[in-house]
Structure 1
Amino acid sequence: MNHPVLSRLPRAAATSLALAALLPGVAAASTYTVDDDRLDCPNAGFTSIQAAVQQASPHDTVVICAGLYLESSFPASGANSPSQTGSRNGLTITKPLTLLGAGADKVTIRPAAALGPTLAGSAPYLRDGGGNVITVSRQAGGSSDFDENFTTISGVTVESPTIYAEAGIAFFNTSGVVRNSRVGPLLRAADATELAARPHGWGIVQTNHLVGASEGTIRREVTVERTLVTGYQAGGILFDDARGTDGSATTTQRSGIRAYGRVVQSTVTGSGPDTLIPQTGIRYHAGHRGEVTKSVITGNSYTPDARQSVGVLLTDAETGPDPSNPAVRALTVYDNVFTGNGYGAFNANATNDAVRQGAPAAFTPGTLGLENWWGCNTGPIVGAPSSATCQGISGDDTTPAASIERGTTRTSQQVLTALQAGPVPGVTADALPTASIDEPLGGGTIVAGVDAAPVVVAADDFGVKSVALSVDGGTPVVDGKAPYDAFSYTPGFDQLGDTVTFTAVVTDASNQTRTVTSTVRVVPPAGYVPLSVDPGSYAAGPVTLGAATTTTVTATNSGENPVTLAPPAVTGSGFAIRPTGTTCADGLVLAPDETCTVALVFAPTAAGDATGGLTLAYTAKGGGGPATTALTGTGVAPTPTPIPTPDPPAPSPTPAAPAPAPTPVPVVSQDAPITVAFAAPSLRTRMTKAGSARFRVLCPASATGICRGTVTLRGILRGTTASTVGSASFALRPGRAATIVVPLVGAARSKIRRTGRLTVAARVRARDGGRPLTGTAVLVVRR
C-alpha cells in the first residue's frame, strides 16, 4: 500500500508566518533569546547580547544560547555615574535584568576585537562605569537601591584574554548576582611597565561613586555563587565602598553606602607563585560588609613580598556588629579552604600598610566543623606569612588583641565536594522541552484527500533547536522555525478507516529531546459515495396488466477504492431483475470509474400504484450505505372490448354549408434548457484511464421529443486562449439522464497528467424535435 509522504511547506506558505513576523524571537513572557549563529536556537531574535539588552525592558530576561559573543558598547556616563574618557565596555547594562546563559561551558562573552588593546580609556579608573567586559551601572539619573537596579548573570564565561579590562564583571552603584559562571582569564601585564600602566584586572568588582549619611541610606548587595574566578591580574573579587578616581584621597575613605558582598560555594584561584604580579583573592574595603563561606581561595602568591598576596584581605572593612542588624557581625568568613596564598587572611587598615587596631574580624562561626581550613592540622600561622603547608594570618594589634578571631582549629580538611556540594562553576538548570501535537489532536479524525496541516507546539527554557515530525514511523520532516506549522500530510483514499500516528520529536538547544504522539483515524470527505447508481429513481408509469416495461440501472464506482458488490436485490410488487442485461453480481469487484448494470422489469399483476426499490449493497474502504434506486409504477386494468351495435339508417343528405375562413393558431416558443450535472459529488471529475472526462446530461421532462445534441469542452492548454479539448454526441428521451464520456485530446490529457488538473467549460447544444436546447457548466478534470 503506497501511503502519502509527509512534507514540509515553504515557510511562506505557513499560515502563521504573518504573526511570526510581527515580533521575531520575542516571547510573550518578556524573554529575549540570543544566539550568535542561530544554530542552537534558530528562533532567536538577536545575535548580539547588547542588542537584546537594549531591546529589553526592566526585569525582563535575556536567554543566551551556546556561542561566542564578541560584544561592544559605550558606558553610561553622567555626574552620578562617571566613566573615564575613551573607555568602552563589552556589555553595558543600565536596567534590572536577568541574563540566563546556557552554561559556563557553552556561553563565552568577550569584548569585540575592535575595542582593543584596552577598554580602560585614557587613564586607569577602577570606580567608574567603563573599562569592563560587563558593566552593570545606573543611568545618569537612575535608581540606586539594591532592588531597583538588580541584575542576575548566570551560566556564562566572561573573559578577555587579549584586551586589557579593568574587571570582568563590574557592579557600579548597583546590585546583582553572579551565579554558575566562570570569570577569567583576563589579559595580564607582561612586564613591570605594562603593570604600572594597567594596574587593575579584577575578576568581579562592586564599586561605588555616591555618598550615604546613615543606615537609612541606600543599600546594595552583590552575591557571587557557585562561580569560578580565575586567570585575573590584580585580584579575584573586590567589594569596595570607597569612591573617586585612582589615587585620590576618597579611595581610602568610607562613602557611607550600605554595601554587602557575599561569596558562597565559589572558587577563587590565583596564578600561583609569581614574581611580577601581586594578587589578592577577595578584598573587602572601606566599610564594606558581607560573608565568605564554603569557598576555596587559593594560589595568590607574590614571592617577592608575601604581604602583597592575600587570600582574603580586609582593608577597613566593617568587621563589628552590623549597624543595620547589631545582633550579627557585619562581616564573617567561615567554612572555607585557604591554600597557596602569601597570607591566608589579613585584617589591615584602609591604606593596607598596618594591622587594623581594635576591629577584629570574625573568621569563625563558633562551631566546630564550620571553621576554616588553613592547610594544616595545627591551624594558621599568626603574624607571619604562609609556609609551604600552613597559611599565615595577620597578627595581633598593638593593644595587643587578635586582629582575626578564629575558633577551634579544624584538624582535617573537609572533602571539597561536600564543602561546596557540587561542581564549580555550578551546572545551569536546563529543563526538557515541552511539546504537543495540536493538529490533528489525538483521538480525532483526518479527511482523505485533504491536507491534515499538522501543527506542533514546542517550547524550551533556552530554545527549541528543531521539531521533527513523522507519520507511522516514516522519514521525519524537520522544521527549525516557530511556529511549527510548515508541515503537510494528505492521507490517501486507500487509508480510509486506517489509523495514522503522528510522532513529534522536539530537540532543545542542549540536544535534550521530548517525544509526543497523536493517533487519528482517516475518514472520507463529506458527500463521499463509493458506489452511485443512475438513475436514482425510476417511474415506470402506467402499465397494463399482463404487459411489462423495462429499464436499466447503471452502477458506477464513484469512489477511489475498489468496490465489492453483494447480490442485487429488488422489492415491490411487479418489480423484478431480468438476468439478460444484468452484469452486477455477487462478488463482482469494480475498480474506480468502472460500471455494471441491472436490468429491471415492471410487470404489474394487480391494478393500482406499486412502490419498491433496487438495493446494491457493497463493501469498500470508507464504508458507505448501499446504493438504491426508488421504483414506482401503476398497474392498469385492460379496457374491455365494446359489443358492436347496428348503425342507424343514414339521413338524407343536405347541402353542406360553406366552410368558414381558417383562423391562425399562434405557435409558442418554449425554452427547455439542458442541465449539466457531474459524476463526482463536487465540481470535480476524474479523468478515466482511457483519457476521457465523464459527466451527466439530463433531457428535461418538458421536452417534446428526443434530445439529440453535442457536448463540447473548451479549456486553456497554453497561454490565455481557450481551445476545444473534447466533444461527444448523445440522444436522450424526455426525463432521462445519462453519463456522457467525452474523449480528451492528447494535449489535454498530457496537461492533466503533468499538472494534476484542467478547468474546462462544458457546453451542450441539442434539439428536441425542433426547439434549440442549451446548457453550460464549469468542470475541473483532475488526474
Structure 2
Amino acid sequence: MHNVLINGFSGGTAVPYSQAASLSRPLGCRIAMTKPALSVFLLLSLSFLVSNLTAAAQDPNQTPNLVVDDDKVQCPAATFTSIQAAINAASPGDLIRVCPGTYREQLSINKSLSIEGDNGAIVLPSNMLPNTASPSGTPIAAAILVKNSANVEIDGLIVDSDNNGITGCAPTLMGILYQNASGTIEHNAVRNTKLHTARLIGCQSGGAIVVQSLGGGTSKVSINDNSVHNYQKNGITGNELGTEVTITKNVVTGLGSVIGAAQNGIQIGYGGKGEVLGNTVTDNVWSPCVSITNCVYSAAGILIFESDDVRVENNSVATNQIGVYAGGGHNKIESNSISNSLVLVGIDLAGDNNLANDNDVTNSGQAAILIGGNQNEVLGNDITEAPIGILEFSGIFGNAVSGNLFFDTLISVQNPMPGHISVPALIVQVAPQR
C-alpha cells in the first residue's frame, strides 16, 4: 500500500485565513536644391527613415526570423524542427514562429526574444528533469523556463505537462516559469500541471504559471488572456521581493473539490507586487474543509499573502472556499463579483489598512466579508445571501464599515464575532505556494 499525502499544505508558512520605409521619386524628375535646403531635406529624410524603421521593429506582425515545424508538413520551409534549437540560434530580439505540431521538449530561454505559436503548437515535454531551483533551493522542473532575460514574450502556445513523468514531490513541477526575467505571457493554454501518482496528490507541486525573483533580482511580467486549468497547486503565481506582475483577463479553473493540495487560483505573495484585473477564477476547493469546525486548510480564488499594495479589481470569482484573501496591507479589493464561497467567506481582510469597496458578494458560507485585521475599510459592497454580512473578529480596532447593502442576510454586521464560531474560525489556514 502506498502512503497517500492528503494534507492541504506542507512546508512554508500557513496562517489563519482570516513589427523600412524608403523615400522615392518618379524617374526623370529632377530636384534642384541649395546646399542648406539639401541639408534640411536629408535631415528630414533620415529622421523619417529612422522613425519608420523603429516602428517596423515594434510591429507585432513582422516576419519571423526563425521558423520551427516538428515535421515540416505545415511549414516546409522551416529551418528548425526543435523549438530549443531555434532558441539557441536566435539573436536577441528575434521572433520565433512555431508551426502546428507537438514538441516533446523542455525549453530554456536566457535571452530576449519572442515565441509565437500557430494554432495547434503544443509543447508537451516527457520525463521532465530539474532545470532550476526555488529561492529555498528546492529543484524545479519547468516545461518552459525563462531566466535572467530582460524581455521574453511567449504567445499562443499550448503548454501541456501531462507526460511529466515525475515520481516524487521533488522536483516541483511548473508549466511556465520566469525567474529574474521580464516580458509577457499571453494567449497560451497552460494545462495538466500536476502529478499522476495517487500517493503524490498532496505534494505542493504543480504551478501552471509562476514568476519569482531570486537573490535580489527583479521580474516584471504581464500575464494576459491565458487559459489555465488542471493544475495541482496554483494557477498563476507572482512571488518574492522584486517581482511585479500584471495579471489580466485570464481564465483560471481549479480541479474542483480535491483531497490533495489545497489549490489557489491566483496568488501574489512573499513581497511580490502587482495587479489582478478582470480575471475569471473558479473551482478551488479543498474537500476536507467541510465546516467551520472541520476545516484545517482552505483553497482560495485570489490569495494575497504577505504582500502589500496589490490591486484586485473587476474579477469574477466563484466556487472557492475563500473568494479573495488580503493577507498584507494597503491592498485594494474593488468592483469584483464573488459568489458561491463554500464554507468560508467571500472576502477576508486578514491584514491591516486594506480596502474592500464596491464588490458584489453572493452566497457565502460563513460570512460575505470577514475583517481580521485593523484599520480596514469596507465600503459600498452589495451583499446577498450570507449568514452574516460583515463579520469582525473581536479585539481588532479602527475598521470603517459603511454604505454596504444587505439582502437575504440574517445578520448584517456582527462585532464581536459570536462566541460559538470564534475559536474554529481562528484555526483555519490558507495554503500559499512558495
Contact 1:361 1:405 in 2 (8 A): no
Local SS of the residue matching 2:228: strand
1:515-534 aligned within 5 A: none
Contact 2:178 2:219 in 1 (8 A): no
Contact 2:133 2:140 in 1 (8 A): no
Question: Alpha-carbon deviations, 1:657-680, whole Å to 9, x = none?
Answer: xxxxxxxxxxxxxxxxxxxxxxxx
Question: 2: distance between equivalents of 1:126 and 1:45?
Answer: 40
Task: Name the structure 1 match of 2:336.
Answer: 372
Q: Which amino acid aligns with 2:370?
A: G
Local SS of the residue matching 2:200: helix
Task: Name the structure 2 match of 1:315.
Answer: 305
Task: Name the structure 2 match of 1:343.
Answer: 322
Task: Name the structure 1 match of 2:156.
Answer: 155
Shift of 1:162: 2.4
Pair 1:397–1:68, CA change in 2 (3 A): same
Task: Name the structure 2 match of 1:210.
Answer: 215
1:29-428 aligned within 5 A: 31-71=65-105, 90-103=106-119, 106-111=120-125, 113=126, 116=127, 118-120=128-130, 130-138=140-148, 149-163=150-164, 164=166, 166-191=173-198, 193-195=199-201, 198-211=203-216, 219-241=218-240, 255=241, 257=242, 259-305=243-289, 307-319=297-309, 331-348=310-327, 356=328, 359-364=329-334, 371-375=335-339, 381=346, 389-390=363-364, 395-399=370-374, 401-402=375-376, 407-409=380-382
More relative contact order, 1 or 2 (CA 8 Å, 6+ apart): 2
Shift of 1:128: 7.5
Question: 1: distance between equivalents of 2:247 and 2:74?
Answer: 32
Pair 1:43–1:288, CA change in 2 (3 A): same
Contact 2:368 2:383 in 1 (8 A): no
Q: Which amino acid aligns with 1:281?
A: G
Pair 1:129–1:223, CA change in 2 (3 A): farther
Pair 1:336–1:127, CA change in 2 (3 A): farther
Question: 1: distance between equivalents of 2:299 and 2:196?
Answer: 17
Contact 1:128 1:209 in 2 (8 A): no
Number of aligned residues: 298
TM-score (norm 1): 0.35
Pair 1:406–1:129, CA change in 2 (3 A): farther
Question: Alpha-carbon deviations, 1:324-371, whole Å to 9, x = none?
Answer: xxxxxxx211111111111111122xxxxxxx5xx242011xxxxxx1
The gaps in structure 2 that reach 5 residues or longer are 1-61, 167-171, 290-294, 350-360, 385-434
Question: 1: distance between equivalents of 2:158 and 2:362?
Answer: 32
Question: 2: distance between equivalents of 1:372 and 1:360?
Answer: 17
Question: Alpha-carbon deviations, 1:198-231, whole Å to 9, x = none?
Answer: 52210000012122xxxxxx75311111101101
Question: Alpha-carbon deviations, 1:569-598, whole Å to 9, x = none?
Answer: xxxxxxxxxxxxxxxxxxxxxxxxxxxxxx
Local SS of the residue matching 2:124: strand
Local SS of the residue matching 1:278: coil
Shift of 1:37: 0.7
Pair 1:237–1:155, CA change in 2 (3 A): same
Question: 2: distance between equivalents of 1:344 and 1:157?
Answer: 28
Shift of 1:263: 1.2
Where in structure 1 do 4 or more consecutive aligned residues deviate above 4 Å?
121-130, 380-384, 391-394, 404-407
Q: Which amino acid aligns with 1:93?
A: I
Pair 1:125–1:343, CA change in 2 (3 A): same
Question: Alpha-carbon deviations, 1:159-215, whole Å to 9, x = none?
Answer: 111214621000011012111110011233543x4246x52210000012122xxxx
Pair 1:410–1:373, CA change in 2 (3 A): farther
Question: Alpha-carbon deviations, 1:416-473, whole Å to 9, x = none?
Answer: xxxxxxxxxxxxxxxxxxxxxxxxxxxxxxxxxxxxxxxxxxxxxxxxxxxxxxxxxx
Question: Alpha-carbon deviations, 1:604-653, whole Å to 9, x = none?
Answer: xxxxxxxxxxxxxxxxxxxxxxxxxxxxxxxxxxxxxxxxxxxxxxxxxx
Question: 2: distance between equivalents of 1:63 and 1:347?
Answer: 40
Contact 1:127 1:207 in 2 (8 A): no
Question: 2: distance between equivalents of 1:273 and 1:315?
Answer: 22
Pair 1:159–1:291, CA change in 2 (3 A): same
Contact 1:97 1:150 in 2 (8 A): yes
Shift of 1:151: 0.5
Local SS of the residue matching 1:131: strand
Identity of aligned residues (%): 25
Q: Which amino acid aligns with 2:267?
A: R
Shift of 1:127: 6.8
Aligned-residue RMSD, C-alpha = 3.2
Task: Name the structure 1 match of 2:4.
Answer: none
Question: Alpha-carbon deviations, 1:728-780, whole Å to 9, x = none?
Answer: xxxxxxxxxxxxxxxxxxxxxxxxxxxxxxxxxxxxxxxxxxxxxxxxxxxxx
Question: 2: distance between equivalents of 1:120 and 1:309?
Answer: 27
Shift of 1:129: 8.3
Pair 1:381–1:207, CA change in 2 (3 A): closer
Contact 1:37 1:47 in 2 (8 A): yes
Contact 1:346 1:394 in 2 (8 A): no
Local SS of the residue matching 2:77: coil
Shift of 1:398: 4.4
Which structure has the larger Rg over C-alpha atoms?
1
TM-score (norm 2): 0.62
Contact 2:146 2:152 in 1 (8 A): yes
Contact 2:131 2:139 in 1 (8 A): no
Pair 1:47–1:381, CA change in 2 (3 A): closer
